[in-house]
């Protein structure tokens, strides 16, 4: 199957990590204790305790971003890797587009079901 063009930067990697985390949070096979980790990061975000104050906006937001990334990374690391691989494969399968299928069809030279026979 053809791979889609890689346009992964730091924001798309973070977006992918967030999508994976949501899928893992919804997976009943992930132990409840491990599923609590991302919520601890959210508790930090809404709590008045802050490593860097939010007065200096760029620096104040930096610690919040670091905490979110760290808790999501810890969460994904502690989830059994077989479950992570399965969820990643489902995510990758969902990224296949019609154009990818058409390209695959052209590469394998299969007849299109939408084209009429000339009989």
Show the domain range for 52.
10-108
Choose between 106 and 112: higher pLDDT.
Answer: 106
Residue 103 forms part of a structural domain = yes
Residue 55 forms part of a structural domain = yes
Q: What CA–CA distance (Å, rounded) separates 79 from 118?
A: 55
Q: How far apart are the first and last CA of the chain?
A: 32
Q: Which residue has the tokens 């930067």?
A: 9
Q: What is the pLDDT of residue 111?
A: 61
Residue 90 forms part of a structural domain = yes
Residue 3 forms part of a structural domain = no
- Reference 75, options 104, 28, 105, 32; nearest CA is 32
Give the largest CA-CA distance in the chain. Answer: 76
Residue 119 forms part of a structural domain = no
Q: What is the pLDDT of residue 103?
A: 79
pTM: 0.66
* Model confidence pLDDT, tens digit, residues 21-80: 999 999 999 999 999 999 998 998 888 776 666 666 677 777 888 888 899 999 999 999
Residue 4 forms part of a structural domain = no
Q: How many domains does one find in the chain?
A: 1
Residue 2 forms part of a structural domain = no
Residue 107 has pLDDT above 80, yes or no: no
78: DSSP letter: H
Choose between 114 and 71: higher pLDDT.
Answer: 71
Residue 18 forms part of a structural domain = yes
């Amino acid at each position: 199957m053809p791979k889609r063009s890689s346009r992964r930067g730091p924001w798309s990697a973070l977006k992918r990590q967030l999508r994976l985390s949501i899928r893992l949070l919804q997976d009943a096979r992930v132990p409840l204790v491990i599923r609590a980790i991302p919520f601890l990061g959210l508790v930090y975000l809404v709590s008045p305790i802050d490593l860097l104050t939010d007065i200096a906006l760029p620096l104040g937001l930096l610690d919040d971003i670091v905490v979110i990334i760290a808790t999501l990374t810890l969460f994904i690391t502690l989830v059994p890797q077989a479950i992570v691989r399965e969820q990643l494969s489902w995510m990758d399968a969902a990224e296949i587009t019609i154009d990818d299928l058409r390209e695959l069809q052209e590469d394998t030279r299969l007849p299109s079901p939408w084209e009429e026979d000339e009989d």
